[in-house]
Structure formats: C-alpha cells, structure tokens
Amino acid sequence: MSDLLQHVLNGLAAGTIYALVALGYTMVYGVLKLINFAHGDVMMVGVYVGYASAKQMGRDTSSSFLGVTLVFLLSMAMCAALGFLIERFAYRPLRDKPKLTALITAIGMSFFLSYSFQLEASLGGLTVLPGAAPRAFPDVITSQVWLIIGDVVVSNKQVISVVVALALMGGLQFLVFRTRFGMAMRAVSFDHRTAGLMGIPVDRVIALTFMLGSALAAGAGILYAIKDTLVQPLMGVTVGLKAFVAAVIGGIGHVPGAVVGSLCLGLVEEFVVGYGGSTWRDAVAFGFLIAVLLFRPEGIFGRVTAEKV
Amino acid sequence: MTSAAASTAASTAAATPAPSPTARPPALLSVGDLHVSYGAITALRGVSLSVGQGEIVALIGANGAGKTSTLRAVSGMLSPKQGSITLDGKPIAGRKSHELVPLGMAHAPEGRGIFLNLSVDENLTLGAYLRSDHEGIEADRENGFTLFPRLRERRQQRAGTLSGGEQQMLAVARALMSRPRLLLLDEPSLGLAPQVIETIFKILRAVNQTGVSILLVEQNAHLALGVAHHAYVLETGQIVMEGTGKDLLATDEIRRAYLGE
C-alpha cells in the first residue's frame, strides 16, 4: 500500500514537469496549429543556461533562495528570447505556406539546436557551445527528506518541483482565461484573420505565446535537471517527445488537457518502472498514447469541431 | 428610395431618401484600380469604387466575381497587388487589419467569423478589443442587446450553440462594438430565413442612420439594391455597372442577370 502511495507521489511529481513542457506544445499548437518539435530543445538550452549561471554564481550563491530564483529567471528569460527568435525568423516567414513546410522546419530547428550544442566553442574564455559530454547539473538544491509518512518518503525536491510547476500553471491558467491578452490568444487560436479584424495584433500575440511556452519549458528543464539528471544536448529530444505525447493524450490545443495528460503519463511511467521493468518505460508510454488515441482520437479533452453554415 | 424600388425590394425598404445620382456625399472610402490575385489566379482586375460619408453602398455580383476579395483587400485581410485604397484620404492599401480598426473600419467577414469557442459576451468584448473606455463599451454592449434581444438571452452561451441567424446578429453587433465609421458586411443574408433577413436589414438601416457608412456585399441583388444609396456590379473582377440602387433595379440587364426576371 505504501509502495503504491510512493509511486503515485513520484508519478505526479514527474508528471507536473512534463506538464510544463506539454503546455508549451499545446499553446503553440493552439495559436499556430504547428507542432513545434524544437520545443524540447529549447528546454535543453534553458537547462544549459541554468547550468552556466549556477556555475558562474558559485556553489554558495546559487544554492541560496535568491540564487536559485535567479537561475530560474535567467534561464526562463533567455529561453523566452530564443523562442521569440525562432518564431520570428524560422516560422513566421512560412506562416502562409503549407503547414508541412513549417513542420519540417520545426524538425530542422530541433536538430539544429541539439546538434549545435554538441559542438564545443568558446569566445574569449566564455563557453558558447558546451559539447556533447554529459555534465551533472550543479546541486543548487540539496536533497533533503521533508516528510515521512509510514514508508512514504517526500523529498524537498519533489515538493519544490510540484509547487513551482503548479504556480506556473496557475499563472498560465489565469493569463489565458482571465486576461485581455488571454482572450486575444484564444481568439487567435480560433481564427487568425478574424482576430485581426477585431484589432488584435496577431503577430505579437503569436510571438508572446512562443515566449511564454519557451519560458515554461526552461522552468521545467531546470526542475527536471535538479531532480536527477545529467545535462546533455540530446536531453530535450526525449523529454520533448514525452511531453508532446502527454499533450496529445490530453487533447492538443487544450490547456488543462495538457496537464491531465502529463499527470497520466507521469503515473504510467512511474508504475512501469516501479512494478514492471524500467526497460519497458518508453514502450508503455507510447503504448498508452496509442491506446488513448484508439478510443478518443481527439485526446481526452479534445473537441471535434464542426462549423455551422 | 422611391415607391417603385420599395415594392420590388423586400419589405425592409423604408424611407431613406437616396441622394441624387449626381451628388454623392464626399468619399469616406475610395478604392482605385485595385488588383488582387491568389497565386496564379487573378481575383480583381482594376476595381474602382467609393463609399460616401453616411452612404450604404452595395456591391453585387455572381459567385466568384470578386466581391469578397474586394472587402478583404479593403479591410487588410489580404494585400493588393496593385491599386490604391484610401480612408478619409489616407492611404491604407497593404496595411494589416488590426491597424485599420482604430481608423474606424469594421468588417463582418464571409462566414460571419464568429469565435465559436467563446461566449456571446466574449465575442462582443473582443469587438471592442482596442477600446479602454469601460463605460462606453458596456453602453455599446447594451445597445447591441437592444438591437438584437435574442443575443441578450444567450449572452453566456458559447457562440457555437447559436443558430445561423443569431450568429449573423452577433457578427453585426460585434462589428459595431468598435464604434466604426465604415462597416463592411459580407453576405449578411446568406443562409438565413426571410424574417431574420428582414430584421437584420432593418437594423442595418438604423445603424446607417446613426452615421455609419456601410459597404455591403450581397448575392441577393433585390435586397441589396433595395437598401443601397449607390451600387456597383462586379463581374469577373471588374466593375461593369454602377448607379443608384433604384436605377440599377430598373435596368433590364440587372433584372435579367441578377433578379431572375
């Protein structure tokens, strides 16, 4: 029983991190109907920015509360800028071209980021590209056990990651459903051209959506890296793909759906690792996707829309 | 509008005195030598027209004549290959839609362009997206509900649940939320029941009487010529005829080609 609880807890903690990445996929899909395959790699860049800024600050500064916050903020800001540039120069020129063109460009952008980060380059003593060797993320949050109930162990990292993820998601939910910008986003997501007729600056809304999604991905990346992972240039591909799967399970384009899909995926993976065998983890994750899509091709929350004439 | 025109037009025709053909009011919108193409397909080849201050101008023509393309070019949904568009004498050709809204342009597009995923209220709020005068917005929302009481009953509903007629009412009410000076309407009668059409056209007239100029695209020539002060006939991307609504209604060619007589 306590085993089960522990797995549920771990699964949910992992799921919230997927959710942050999945939200980026789903938001961009919402406004552009584009699967931004470079999204996971933007997350990877965010992790490296976090890595570099933590190293620069040194161990003492970076593990203070202010230091950790700064690591998060720097990484999120840099990724927002990267998201802006990618949209502006890679996707916007292709906006009126067939959807497939942008999709292939997104895949190209993904390769561009993940493979250029495998190069090593420095400029005046400052490392610009890190190279392929995996590195351990600086220990900005030292592992502690915060709570033990029976045999269930809750670590500080799990709590922090869930709290940060929930706060970011709450903020996003507020932005999308309670603000003027959010309404503009939903209008753009339904129909660009009509949104423009309302006076909504469509290009700006799309750019901001990319920036927002990329910043969330950076936050997720650091939570992921802090947990247990080595930092390496291809890390974005796997996490990105999983988060994409989660977004599709929830119903791509649907904000709460992305969260629910991610939590499901986190739980499924955790149970496989806990009770079956960790080698089956990815197979089961994608199998789960197939199973969901067999019964609900539009995802759990996705809607089949039909227009009235 | 003379009684002859009024009797041929739907019963929506009431008593708006049409300006005499020689004296149109000064132009609010004027379009000169407009060319539009989609890739290799040419949609407009040199369209020139104008909408005077306070006028209702109708643009009629068959399917594919270029009516919708004309409206889209005017409201910035597509950029013309060539030609001039001026609003109040200011050149606006090639500018994007969202830049034209603050200049007084509102466009209820083909297919109504309702955000079916949002509520009726949210649709109206979006119509006033660029305004920040909260009280004025609420007053205009009320005004919209007074014009179309059925929208008030459904204000919290998702717009996707509305009937076609209600959606068209919403499209008009929403377009008015930006307090436009020029209202572009694309086939407001399409697919609607005669009574609903009558309601909508009655309201368009009332709106026009508050000083809003209207450029109306219609396949239903009877209806359009009945309300229009001035009208243009579009054929394969070119204006082939123009005149007052009344004059065109009396023309043999128009009666044969568009009124089925």
Encode pLDDT of B44-71 as tens digits. 999 999 999 999 999 999 888 999 999 9
pLDDT of residue B22: 59
Instruction: Please determine, for the modelled complex, whether the ipTM score is greater than 0.90.
Output: no
Q: Where are the domains of chain A?
A: 2-121+141-295
Place of tokens 């089949």: A304
Q: Which structure tokens are listed for A207?
A: 């750019």
pLDDT of residue A305: 54
Confidence bin at A64 (pLDDT 50/70/90) = confident
**Residue A41: what are its φ and ψ, rounded to 5°?**
-75, -30
Q: Length of chain B, please?
A: 261
In this prediction, residue B7 has a pLDDT band, given cuts at 50, 70 and 90, of very low
Interface test with B, best of A31, A194, A204 (most B CBs within 10 A): A194
Interval B89-103: pLDDT, tens: 999 999 999 999 999
Tell me whether B157 touches chain A (CB under 8 Å). no
Q: Which residue of A lies nearest to B178 if distances are taken between CA atoms?
A: A198
Is there a contact between B182 and B29 (Cβ–Cβ < 8 Å)? Answer: yes
Cross-chain Cβ contact A309/B122 below 8 Å: no
10 Å CB burial of residue B260 (0-12, 13-18, 19+) is exposed
User: Using a CB-CB distance cutoff of 8 angstroms, which residues of chain A are in contact with residue B97?
Assistant: 193, 196-197, 199
Q: How many residues belong to chain A?
A: 309
Closest chain B CA to residue A96 = B78
| CA separation for the pair A94, A100 (Å, rounded) | 10
Residues of A with CB under 8 A from a CB of B: 180, 183-184, 186-187, 189-191, 193-202, 305, 307-309
d(CA B224, CA B24): 18
Q: How far is CA A72 from CA A58, A83, A137, A307, in A?
A: 15, 16, 13, 43
Indicate if the pLDDT at residue A143 is higher than 70. yes
Region at B104 (left for phi over 0; alpha for psi -120 to 50; beta for the rest) = left
CA distance B92 to B76: 8
Q: How many CB pairs under 8 A join A and B?
A: 75
Choice between A258 and A124, residue whose per-residue pLDDT is larger? A258
Q: Which helix (H) or strand (E) holds A28?
A: helix A2-32
pLDDT digits (tens, 9 = 90+) for B184-199: 999 999 989 999 999 9
What's this model's pTM, rounded to 2 decimal places?
Answer: 0.86
Class of domain B1-104+213-261: alpha beta
pLDDT score for B97: 95
Residue B131 has pLDDT above 80, yes or no: yes
pLDDT, residue B214, reads 97
The full set of domain ranges for chain B reads: 1-104+213-261
Q: Which residues in chain B have their CB less than 8 angstroms from residue A180's CB?
A: 129
Domain A2-121+141-295 indexed as CATH 1.10.3470: yes
Residue A191: which of B107, B115, B127 has the nearest Cβ? Answer: B115
Q: Best mutation site among B99, B117, B163, B183 for testing chain A: the one with the most A CBs within 10 Å?
A: B117
Q: Which two tokens stand for residue B107?
A: 């466009």
Chain A's closest residue to B180, CA to CA, is A198
3-state secondary structure A92-108: HHHCCCCHHHHHHHHHH
